[in-house]
Amino acid sequence: MKTILYSPGDPAGIGTDLFLELVNNKFFDTLQTRIVCLADPHLLQARASMLGFDNDFQKLCAWHMLPESQDCIESCPDTTAGKLNPQNASYIMQVLNFGIQQCMEHSDFALVTGPISKENIIEGGISFSGHTEFIQEQTKSPDVLMLLASERIRVALATTHIPLRKVADHISQELIVSKVTILFEELQQKFGIVNPQITVLGLNPHAGEGGKLGTEEQDIIIPAIQTLQQQGITVKGPLSADTAFSKDLLDSTDAYLAMFHDQGLPVLKTLSFGDSINITLGVPIIRTSVDHGVALDIVGQRVANPSSLKNAFIIANELLG
């Protein structure tokens, strides 16, 4: 049965609120797909009371009815809204891992994830660098690609959650070739784009200025692009990030590959914040997510915009076919 699992993320954050808002608005009735929230019903009940909602939480949390579940999700240690608690780290990761494993076992399942605090999970004693990296590890995928997408723009990341000083050391010809190949193939398979047009950003200002502001473009990125072009992939670059997002280039580009997290995402979030979603490519499961964080300052107030989560469910449902 076509099913979308929802991992709400950190119990203190906005992920639970947004899901309950969509339930209250009867959004899920439009999907005609089974929706299962992987959460402690007591967490949903506590947050719903704060928000003024009244729902059937046993039905929403019917994860125990899924195949092979055998009550695999423990109780949430702390359901307090708006205040992170490292004691919740194990619960958060158990929920996430359960969702991943279910999707691995059932091809008609997809996973939508809510926002988490990496810092809180690490403080809880768990090594964790992000959803994307964890999904790669759990699915044993050789490579993985984070794609942020909206109707206006798609931006994929060559590197994700690493310190800026380490980015240059991570960039290699093999990495660029692998990331662009995943992007090209997934744009064809998941988005139905016959011949995707991909633009690769440079690493350095002005894309290295012919080697005067850095040699990574000449030594690594350009040879990688040439290899990709020889393989029949339509890719251009490296382009300077300060000019690559002009209107003409936006209109002619199906997806960008940025070299690091904060190179391309500020542009995407300026154009589409609240409407864009995160899609994990290169893995054998369907996973989408919101484009924002835990938003502790507005939890429980019914002021958060659920558009990104709504779009994450819509795209997950479309990808399930």
Q: Which of 260, 279, 254, 289 is nearest to 184 (CA)?
A: 254
pLDDT of residue 40: 86
pTM beyond 0.85: the answer is yes
Query: Please, which residues have CB within 8 angstroms of residue 91's CB and are 6 or more apart in sequence?
Result: 11, 40, 73, 74, 75, 76, 77
Cα radius of gyration (the chain): 20
pLDDT digits (tens, 9 = 90+) for 184-228: 999 999 999 999 999 999 999 999 999 999 999 999 999 999 999
Task: Give the residues of the chain that fall short of pLDDT 70.
Answer: 55-72
pLDDT of residue 169: 97
pLDDT of residue 213: 92
Q: Domains in the chain, ordered, with CATH?
A: 1-141+283-321 (3.40.718.10), 145-273 (3.40.718.10)
pLDDT of residue 65: 52
Q: Report how far residue 174's alpha carbon sits from residue 224's, in angstroms, rounded to the nearest whole number.
A: 7
